[in-house]
Every structure is written in C-alpha cells, then in structure tokens.
Amino acid sequence: MNDQEDKIDDCVRQRTLKTSISCAGIALHSGADVTLNLMPADAGTGVVFHRIDIHDKDNVVPAIWDRVVDTRMCTSIGNDDGVTVGTIEHLMASLAGCGIDNARVELNGPEVPIMDGSSEPFVSLIECAGVVEQSAPRRVIRILKPVNVEVGDSQATLMPADRPSLDVEIDFDSAFISNQALSIGLVNGSFCKELARARTFGFLHEVEQMRAAGLAKGGSLENAVVVSQDGVLNDGGLRFDDEFVRHKMLDAVGDLYLAGGHIIGQFSGIRSGHAINNALLRALFADGEAWTVDVMRSTEAATAVDGGLTAEPVSAPT
C-alpha cells in the first residue's frame, strides 16, 4: 500500500445515496406542484440541482454559496442562464445532517417542495434510499480564525472549533416566541434527533404581505407553524417547546452547507437568517487566511456529521 492509499484509509469517506428516491409536494412560495428525484452522484460532485422542466437553456445549478441569488424568506440559487431553484435550505440541511456529500436533485418546477415545513421528510427519503461510502475522502472546510458579519441588529460568526457546532439566538416581537437560544454540536445524529422535525414558521399578520409580494402562495397550516397574537394556530401545537429557534438552526445548517462541504467550526447567529448566513459565507471565502480545505480524518469519525445513518462501503466511486 502506498502513501496515498494510507492517507485515504486514514480518512472519513464521502457518502452518497444507495439508490434514487422521489417525492412530490407543493412549492411554498410559487404554489406549484413539484416532483423531486433525489439521486446518487459521483464522488466530488457535491450537491447539484437539475431543472428537468427546462430544456432550452442550461438547467443545472450547483448548490454553492456564490450561486445564491435571493434570500427573501428562503434561499434560492441560480446559474448564468437565469435558471433558479428556490427554497433549498430544508433539503440542504437534511443532506448535511445525514452526511450526504454528493447528490443530484432533479426537479420539475421552480422550488423544492415544502413537504411539512421541516427536514424530516427528506431525512426519511435518505433513510429509505440508503447510504453508501465512496472511495474519495470527505472534503471539509476548517475555520482558522473568526469571521463576523453584522447587518442591523443581526449578527453571524464562524469560529475555529474541533467539531461542527451551532449557537443560535432569536428574538421576535411576539409574546409567544420572544427570546429563545440553543446550542448544539452536530455529532452522533444530533441533527436528525434534535433539529430535523422543527418546522418553518410565520406570523398571521404577515401572510397577506408575503402573498402580495408573490411569496407563500403554497403556505398552509400543513406546512408551516402560524403564530397569531393568541398563540399557534396549528392543531397539535408545537413539536418542541423551542421549535422556533430549532428551525432557525436547521435553516443555518442548510445555508452553511452551501460552503461546498461540511464546515469544521462553530457557527453563532443572533437574529440571523438566510441573507446574513450567505453574507457570512461570502466574507469567509473572501479571506483566504480564515479557512482551509482539508479532509476529515478517521480519528474525527466520532464527530462526523452522519445523521446516525450507517453507510455501506464500496470499493470504487459510485
């Protein structure tokens, strides 16, 4: 065995889906009916979206930070031909939380379907499809020094750490939500256990404003937590007492996975959202001294982001 093989054997390997799997649902903002096919991809591919409803221009959009074109109420990415894919954050969070490095996502519409407003349906799809290891080592981005972005009263920071972790605080002018804070290390399946079920949320008085702006046309109590002055309107109430901050953390996991790999570092967000999350990645990659591309070592396997899912080994790239 040569030195290169020794190096690969000493690393956590990339992972993809064992087989393709599909789902269908409504798009939160456009209201369109969308079918999604989640498919395996070769090692080194990353996450790539493919708009199969578009045939007269480039219909492939890589899920990467510098392709973000809109952060109003969701994260949208686009390519040079103007083809966009919206509301990708919940799917991206599930791929990150389950340790899926490479995947191809086919869509026949402009957005990822919202499903129940959380990442849990996508985690279930990944579990059903199965996971396989690939021959290449997992690519990670290690944070080497603090990077901070502030916009108004919002703040987002990445700091060096020996494992992926998040520290998020929210503060809403709502007696029902008010101030919530949570800290989680993304290890040992914590994403699937602690965050995946947390649903997106909105305020009743903002619904008409969003629809007037062409947003939330597909929103309902089936796919979002709606808060009024009197509390939550959804039957069954909340899934967690602090579901709101958990969902903001879920969003951050998805937005940060647009770094192009798992971030080894600590994210801290105060009243953060999609816009500042992307601004943080842009600030990070603008400073070559703040990060480095590395591979995840086998000695770090205990802190690997894998969603607790067991991957079948393969001897050749999938």
Residue in 29, 247, 262, 274 annotated catalytic: 274
Query: CB-side exposure of 1: number of CA atoms within 13 Å?
Result: 7
The residues with which 231 forms a beta bridge, in sequence order, are 228
Residue-wise pLDDT for 276-312, tens only, equals: 999 999 999 999 999 999 999 888 776 677 766 777 8
Please give the model's pTM, rounded to 2 decimal places.
Answer: 0.94
Q: Do 89 and 255 meet the contact criterion of CB atoms below 8 Å apart? A: yes
Residue 49 tokens read as: 């979206």
Question: Where are the domains positioned within the chain?
Answer: 3-312
Positive or negative: CA dihedral 290, 84, 268, 99? negative
- 55 carries an active-site annotation: no
Residue-wise pLDDT for 43-73, tens only, equals: 999 999 999 999 999 999 999 999 999 998 8
CATH code at 3-312: 3.30.1700.10
Residue 308 tokens read as: 């607790």
Per-residue pLDDT band at 3 (split at 50, 70, 90): very low
Pairwise CA distance, residues 15 & 316, whole Å = 12
Residue-wise pLDDT for 24-40, tens only, equals: 999 998 899 999 999 99
